[in-house]
Chain A
Amino acid sequence: EMDDDLDEAFSRLAQARTNP
């Protein structure tokens, strides 16, 4: 479950960096 959270956190980071 923590792994899923981390996966999600990296997706959010990449998304935020692409569309600040």
Chain B
Amino acid sequence: REKRLTLPPSEITLL
């Protein structure tokens, strides 16, 4: 879980 928290949030793309 810790690893997930340190990962950056993702960008959002509209398709």
- Please indicate whether A and B come from the same complex rather than being unrelated chains: no
**Residues in chain A within 8 A of chain B (CB atoms):** none
